[in-house]
Each structure stands twice: as C-alpha cells, then as structure tokens.
C-alpha cells in the first residue's frame, strides 16, 4: 500500500495539444480511486504517466513521498492491468503469473506459494496448466489481474480492464474486483468511461474532461452534489434534466420561471441566490427526483407522455416540454403509455442550481 500525489501533472502532444493539464490529486493509502470521463478526457494518459509509460511534460508523480516522475516503470513498484489482457500466449497461466516474480529472482518455493495464492484469490486455480487460448475473455482478464497482484505492488493500476467483457460478466467482475481490493488493501487507480462501474466500485471518483479534473468526490458527492453542469449531465442514467430559468421576486417569494414552468424556491434553495446577481439560472433536476401525482393541484406541470421505456425494475417516462425531451424515472406500476396525460411534481430539496454563464454549481 502507498500514497500517491499528482502535482500539476501535464502531458502535451506536439506544440499545443494537451492530453492532460494541471492534474492535482492526493490518493490515500488503500484507497480505490476511479478516473471517469468520456473518451479523450485524459484519464488513460494520466494513468500511464503514473505508471511511467508516458513521458511527463510538466509536473510531478509522488509515490510514498518519493518523486518518481522520471523513474523507469519497473522501479516504481506499480502493476498495471490493460484493457486487452496482455497475457503471453506461449505461456501457461502458471507461467504468466510467475513471470514477474522470476524476473525479481524470487525463490522457487515462494513463487509457487504466491502463484497459487493469487490464482485462488481471482478464482482461476483450476486453470493453472492451461494456455490463454484455452480460456474465455473473462478468465484471461483474471490471469492478468493475478499477475499484477503477484508482485504485491505499492499501487495497482487498471485501464478499463472490464470493457472487453460482456455485460453480465462485467457486473460480476466489478463485484469481485472490489472484494479483491478489500482483501489486499492495495492502493488502486481504476480507469473507466462506465459510470455504473465508477459509482459501484469507487471510494472516490475523479471526473475528467478535456484533460482537466472537473470534480473529485465520493460516489454520493459527484451524484447528488455535482460541481457543474458537465458532471451533473455525465453522471446518471438517464442524465439530469436541465432548464434555463428566469428569476423574479414576487409576493416575498423568489420564483424561477420559463414559458413552461414556474415555481417559488424553498427557503433552503432560495438562500443560495442571496449573492447571485444575474437574472437567469440553470435548473437541474435528476429523473428520479420527479414524481407523477394524481391531482393537478399538487403538480408543477401537466404534460402528455411522448414515449415510455420499460426497464423491468422501473420505467422511464419521456415528455416533450417546449423544445427539449425530459425524462422521468417512475416505478414499474402503474404502467404508462404514450399520449397519457400526467401531472408532474418534484422534490424541491433535490434540485440543483447552476450559474447561467460559468455552468458551475451555485453554493451561496
């Protein structure tokens, strides 16, 4: 286990293309950190700089208080698992796992103990004499995990290790990876573009965009307390619904309104705008914060359903409000269908307000 600190870490390609820019992050010993973001956001570039596989343009990589920025990969005491498994086809599973230990000239008895220990941990002990071509994709990825675990690295790096697996196996493997982390206590950095992986596995999530960190926080913090419109829109399925709203004072109330919606802000939310001097705001409401109600008097608006997307455990109800599609997560029953007219309310305490210009969260 180890601590990791990234200080203004940057990678430039050519003269002015930045793969990562001023990445600052402190990772605690034993933490499971997930880098999350769309393709090209800089998460893999940052991971490869930590591993020493990518040359650093600016900044520092600090492991356990030691500057390893220009140290070659094998001296950093990190292990990396790749998306493509990267197991050697001409070696058996046993030989694949043992290989890095042999490079370190570990005693034969110790190698055998460690190989069987990590093979049992990732549940491939019965395949030790097989070759990779005789294994499924999921089993080959387990071999790669076992090989990385065998050297007992200070930091365990994983670059989208589950993305080549089918959906059912991916869900199973992420549970097992979390269990392995609990057993080993290894400081872990995991890269993914799959938000469900991030939310289910991470101690903290690092949300990235265009080479920059947008927010660092626990799964609950990035989901319920999103730092800006990008994070609120990226995290969650379906994503947050956004409305451009005008602001007005009326009858000792502070109201937000547009041509389709108007309501008074509750005091808790209203106080956030005490120092806000603009006349428009972006309102964010997550799909599960809406509620379909029977009485129109208890609703904020009434609309006709555009489509319904059944999901088994719930249904997604889509409405067309003005020129935008709004999605609502509703219970499985009662069943709704297209063209039904429904009354919509929402949890006022769960709404988010963002600056109309900067798109950053308004926090008072």
What is the mean pLDDT of the segment spanning 231-247?
96
What's the CA gap between 20 and 160, in Å, rounded?
18
Lowest mean pLDDT among 167-171, 330-334, 342-346: 167-171
Query: Order of strands across the sheet with 66-67?
Result: 17-27, 4-13, 58-63, 66-67
Is the pLDDT reported for residue 120 higher than 90? yes
**163 and 226: one domain?**
yes
CA 157 → CA 24, 35, 123, 127, 362, distances in Å? 17, 11, 20, 24, 35
Could you tell me how many helices (H) and strands (E) the chain has, helices first?
Answer: 9, 20
Helix (H) or strand (E) holding 145: helix 137-150
Q: Is 296 helix (H, G, I), strand (E, B) or coil?
A: helix
Confirm if 194 and 163 have CB atoms less than 8 A apart: yes
Residue where a domain terminates, one of 215, 234, 253? 234
Higher pLDDT, 62 or 176: 62
pLDDT at position 146: 93
**86 and 216: one domain?**
yes
What's the CA gap between 343 and 292, in Å, rounded?
6
Residue pLDDT, tens place only, 300-312: 889 999 999 999 9
Band of pLDDT at residue 169, cut at 50, 70 and 90: confident
Q: Is 77 helix (H, G, I), strand (E, B) or coil?
A: coil
Confirm if 236 and 223 have CB atoms less than 8 A apart: yes
pLDDT at position 282: 98
Residue where a domain terminates, one of 178, 205, 234? 234
Range of the domain at 27: 4-234
**Domains contained in the chain, number:** 2
pLDDT at position 166: 87
pLDDT at position 114: 95
**150 and 128: one domain?**
yes
pLDDT at position 246: 97
What's the CA gap between 87 and 308, in Å, rounded?
45
- Token pair in block for residue 19: 């793969």
Band of pLDDT at residue 294, cut at 50, 70 and 90: very high
The angle subtended at Cα 135 by Cα 129 and Cα 139, nearest 5°, is 100
Instruction: Look at residue 364 and tell me if it is in a domain.
Output: no
Through-space distance between the first and last CA atoms of the chain, rounded to whole angstroms: 39
What's the CA gap between 91 and 85, in Å, rounded?
14
pLDDT at position 275: 87
What's the CA gap between 273 and 363, in Å, rounded?
8
At residue 184, what are phi and psi to the nearest 5 degrees?
-90, -30
**190 and 327: one domain?**
no
**294 and 313: one domain?**
yes
Band of pLDDT at residue 293, cut at 50, 70 and 90: very high
Band of pLDDT at residue 281, cut at 50, 70 and 90: very high
Instruction: Look at residue 319 and tell me if it is in a domain.
Output: yes
Could you list the beta-strand ranges (E) of 83-186. 155-159
What's the CA gap between 61 and 172, in Å, rounded?
33
**72 and 204: one domain?**
yes
Lowest mean pLDDT among 48-62, 264-278, 308-322: 264-278
Instruction: Look at residue 74 and tell me if it is in a domain.
Output: yes
Is the pLDDT reported for residue 164 higher than 90? no
Query: How, if at all, do strands 241-250 and 280-285 pair?
Result: antiparallel
The number of CA neighbours under 13 Å toward the Cβ of 341 is 4
pLDDT at position 195: 93
pLDDT at position 267: 85
**18 and 166: one domain?**
yes
Residue pLDDT, tens place only, 68-90: 999 999 999 999 998 887 899 99
Instruction: Look at residue 187 and tell me if it is in a domain.
Output: yes
DSSP state of 131: -
Report the Cα 60 to chain-centroid distance in Å. 24
Average pLDDT across the chain, whole number: 94
Q: What is the CATH number for 71?
A: 3.40.50.300
- Token pair in block for residue 320: 């067309």
Is the pLDDT reported for residue 117 higher than 80? yes
Q: What is the CATH number for 308?
A: 2.40.50.140
Residue pLDDT, tens place only, 4-19: 999 999 999 988 899 9
What is the mean pLDDT of the segment spanning 36-64?
97
């Amino acid at each position: 286990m180890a601590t990791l600190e990234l200080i203004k870490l940057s990678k430039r390609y050519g003269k002015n293309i930045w793969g990562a820019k001023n990445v600052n992050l402190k990772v605690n010993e034993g933490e499971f950190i997930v880098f999350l973001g769309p393709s090209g956001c800089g998460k893999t570039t940052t991971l490869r700089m930590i591993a020493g596989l990518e040359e650093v343009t600016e900044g520092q990589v600090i492991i356990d208080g030691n500057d390893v920025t220009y140290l070659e990969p094998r001296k950093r005491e990190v292990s990396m698992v790749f998306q493509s498994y990267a197991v050697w086809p001409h070696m058996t599973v046993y030989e694949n796992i043992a290989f890095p230990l042999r490079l370190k000239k570990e005693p034969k008895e110790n190698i055998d103990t460690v190989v069987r220990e990590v093979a049992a941990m990732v549940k491939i002990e019965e395949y030790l004499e097989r070759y990779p071509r005789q294994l499924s994709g999921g089993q080959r990825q387990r071999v790669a995990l076992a090989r990385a675990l065998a050297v007992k690295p200070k930091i365990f790096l994983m670059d989208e290790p589950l993305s080549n697996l089918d959906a059912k196996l991916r869900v199973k493997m992420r549970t097992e990876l979390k269990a392995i982390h609990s057993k080993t206590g290894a400081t872990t950095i995991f890269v993914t573009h799959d938000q469900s992986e991030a939310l289910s596995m991470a101690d903290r999530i690092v949300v990235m965009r265009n080479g920059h960190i947008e927010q660092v926080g626990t799964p609950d913090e990035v989901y319920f307390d999103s730092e800006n419109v990008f994070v609120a829109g990226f995290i969650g399925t379906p994503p947050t619904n956004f409305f451009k709203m005008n602001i007005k004072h009326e009858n000792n109330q502070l109201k937000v309104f547009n041509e389709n919606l108007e309501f008074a802000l509750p005091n808790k939310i209203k106080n956030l705008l005490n120092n806000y001097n603009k006349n428009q705001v972006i309102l964010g409401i997550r799909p599960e914060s809406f509620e379909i109600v029977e009485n129109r008097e208890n609703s904020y608006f009434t609309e006709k359903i555009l489509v319904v997307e059944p999901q088994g455990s719930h249904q997604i109800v889509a409405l067309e409000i003005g020129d935008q599609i709004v999605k609502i997560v509703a219970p499985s029953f009662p069943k709704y269908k297209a063209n039904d007219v429904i009354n919509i309310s929402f949890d006022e305490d769960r709404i988010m307000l963002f600056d109309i210009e900067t798109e950053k969260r308004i926090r008072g």
